[in-house]
């Protein structure tokens, strides 16, 4: 047979036929934006979430994706929004194959560990940790077997400079992911996290002293690190949303240039 004259086999896109709910698209530089872009490029349909004044921003940024996706109202601290999420998703799709949790917030006071109030801390934990469970449960009626919940963390194994109660919230977030993996596993749904190195995102811009990470991370990373490049992290999220990790749950994948594995 003349191989040069054979018809090439059409390459199957990694996420063909999938539908994902993606939170946290606020800027074109955000990790969530690039997860949405990669998902669409790999054949998936995407639904975004936003709420309040940020909805206008999300709508503007959504137009820069390969296909403009629908946006559903979701404030993760609002019980009415959470209760209505499945119905709102149902206006655009019968089923979901995955959810990206890219949400984090802490009041300014939470970045002073000894001076923070419980009000500051409880807000950080509610928005940045409990919301993973809240979204997982709210989206579950639409989730298909084999579905995937993926969240973004900043390695909570250490007491980082300036991170303070947001670091505690991330520790709670990582623990929440393990419990969610335990309880969603029998329903055929995985839950994993990506621990990213520092990226210049909207969330990072709200952290006082974030430049300390920017200045030191690249020098400590065996592979090097670009704080302005969210794509490696977004690719890891897309892989975890795909079917290529069918037996992986409760895991944290590090995308940090290798810093987590190095000593001082």
The tens digit of pLDDT for each residue in 75-121 reads 999 999 999 999 999 999 999 999 999 999 999 999 999 999 999 99
Indicate the fold that domain 14-258 takes in CATH. Answer: Rossmann fold (3.40.50)
| H-assigned helices in 140-196 | 164-184
CA angle 236, 174, 130 (to 5 degrees): 110
Encode pLDDT of 11-56 as tens digits: 679 999 999 999 999 999 999 999 999 999 999 999 999 999 999 9
pTM confidence score: 0.92
- 96: β partners: 143
C-beta neighbour count of 82 within 10 angstroms: 18
End-to-end CA distance of the chain: 59
pLDDT for residue 219: 86
In whole angstroms, what is the distance from residue 154 CA to residue 171 CA?
Answer: 9
In whole angstroms, what is the distance from residue 18 CA to residue 5 CA?
Answer: 33
Sheet holding 19-22, edge to edge: 71-73, 45-50, 19-22, 96-101, 143-153, 190-196, 252-255
Q: Where are the beta strands (DSSP E) in 58-142?
A: 71-73, 96-101
pLDDT for residue 1: 43
Say if CB 176 and CB 132 are below 8 A apart.
yes
pLDDT for residue 71: 98
pLDDT for residue 171: 98
Question: Quick one: tokens of 43?
Answer: 């054949």
Poorest-pLDDT segment among 1-5, 95-99, 208-212, 222-226? 1-5
Task: Please state, for a pLDDT cut of 90, what percent of the chain lies above it.
Answer: 84
In whole angstroms, what is the distance from residue 39 CA to residue 42 CA?
Answer: 5
Contacts of 160 (CB under 8 A, 6+ apart): 154, 167, 213
């Amino acid at each position: 047979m003349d191989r040069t004259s054979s018809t090439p086999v059409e390459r199957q896109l990694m996420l063909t036929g999938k539908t994902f709910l993606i939170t946290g698209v606020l800027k074109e530089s955000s990790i969530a934006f690039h997860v949405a872009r990669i998902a669409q490029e790999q054949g998936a349909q995407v639904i975004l979430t936003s709420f309040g004044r940020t909805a206008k921003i999300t709508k503007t940024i959504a137009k820069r994706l390969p296909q403009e996706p629908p946006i559903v109202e979701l404030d993760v601290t609002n019980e009415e929004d959470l209760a209505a999420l499945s119905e709102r998703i149902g206006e655009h799709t019968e089923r979901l194959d995955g959810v990206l949790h890219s949400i984090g917030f802490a009041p300014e006071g939470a970045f002073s560990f000894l001076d923070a109030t419980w009000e500051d801390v409880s807000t950080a934990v509610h928005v940045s940790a409990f919301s993973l469970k809240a979204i997982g449960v709210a989206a579950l009626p639409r989730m298909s077997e084999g579905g995937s919940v993926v969240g973004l963390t900043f390695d909570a194994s250490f007491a980082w400079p300036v991170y303070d109660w947001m670091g505690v919230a991330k520790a709670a977030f990582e623990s929440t992911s393990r419990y969610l993996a335990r309880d969603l596993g029998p329903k055929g749904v995985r839950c994993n996290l990506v621990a990213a190195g520092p990226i210049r995102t909207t969330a990072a811009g709200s952290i006082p002293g974030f430049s300390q990470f920017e200045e030191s991370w690249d020098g400590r990373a065996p592979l090097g690190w670009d704080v302005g490049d969210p794509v490696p992290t977004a690719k890891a999220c897309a892989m975890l949303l795909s079917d290529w990790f069918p037996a992986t749950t409760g895991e944290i994948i590090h995308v940090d240039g290798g810093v987590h594995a190095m000593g001082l």
